[in-house]
Amino acid sequence: MRHFRPVAIAALLAASAACSAPSSNAAAGEAAAQPSDAIAAAVAAPTRTAANLPRDAYRHPAETLAFFGVTGRDTVVELWPGGGWYTEILAPLARAGGGTLYAAAPWERGLNKIKEWQGAHPDVYGAVRLAEFPATGAGPKVPDGSADVVLTFRNVHNWRFGGADKTADAFKQIYAMLKPGGVLGVVEHRLPEEMDSAREEKSGYMKRSSIVAFAEAAGFRLAGESDINANPKDTHDYEKGVWTLPPTLTEGEKDKDKYLAIGESDRMTLKFVKPAS
């Protein structure tokens, strides 16, 4: 994968900030945090892939990581990093701050991209620790009680496809890997509460109430939520699910301009805490 210093990064960040994003709404009276200089530097890292930069306008990485309270000193677990969109930000953040980053996914295919980067760019990704999640014993797991923050971006629906029991087990494993007082940050495609819950099984969208129920059943407390990643243009009702929208555009050229005008999906941003006692 090619890495290079982005051109006019300030302009890209300005465009991201200018994108419509409703203000943060913290459930426990928590004020929206401003991104630290360290987070801003990681978002502007010269090693990020060029094609990923325009998506900042929909994913608001600086504001999202600030909302979850992530610092470069933390032990952070990124679950199911996929193509590594967030890993490109989290790895430089941990490297600069002296923290630890785990990438945890099904062993080993879910970590292929990260392993590829470790070979090609050991200076950036060599320190990323690889772990199996959900843990089955096929690979190393994140040690219990070791993580300050666990992050999952648009993944809970994937666990839900495996059934409610597997989703519940995933949240229990996350709870175990966190230190008391540790944070679970969830960004997920939002299914409006009034829509049929059966859509969770195939559309890629999840109801807020469902995610809160899974988290609370595992022992978490909802500490805050934000509309940073909301998109009011999303109608949530596509025949082929959330993948109809960019970046996947499952319909191909059919109504492509329409879906590009909508943009990426409407997403909830939920912050959970493992009680300290």
pLDDT, tens only, 200-231: 999 999 999 999 999 999 999 999 999 999 99
Confidence grade of residue 102 (pLDDT, cut at 50, 70, 90): very high
Range of the domain at 39: 22-237+264-273
pLDDT of 17 strictly over 70? no
Residue 229: alpha-carbon gap to chain centroid: 11
Number of structural domains found in the chain: 1
pLDDT bracket for residue 277 (50, 70, 90): confident
Residue 44 lies in a domain: yes
CATH number at residue 61: 3.40.50.150
> What local confidence, expressed as pLDDT, does residue 32 receive?
62
Residue 224 lies in a domain: yes
In a domain, 43, yes or no: yes
Q: Let me know if residue 12 belongs to a domain.
A: no
Average pLDDT over residues 18-36: 52
Q: What is the pLDDT of residues 131-169, one digit of tens each?
A: 999 999 999 999 999 999 999 999 999 999 999 999 999
- Angle (CA) 123-152-228 rounded to 5° is 105
Q: How confident is the model at residue 5 (pLDDT cuts 50, 70, 90)?
A: very low
Give the pLDDT mean for 61-87: 98
- Identify whether 114 is part of a domain: yes
Tell me whether residue 138 is in a domain. yes
Quick one: pLDDT at residue 60? 98
pLDDT confidence of residue 257: 98
- Inside any domain, residue 180: yes
Q: What is the pLDDT of residue 207?
A: 98
In a domain, 252, yes or no: no
What band does 33 get if pLDDT is binned at 50, 70 and 90?
confident
pLDDT at 9: 36
Looking at residue 11, its pLDDT comes to 37
Which class for 91: exposed (0-12), middle (13-18), buried (19 or more C-beta within 10 A)? buried
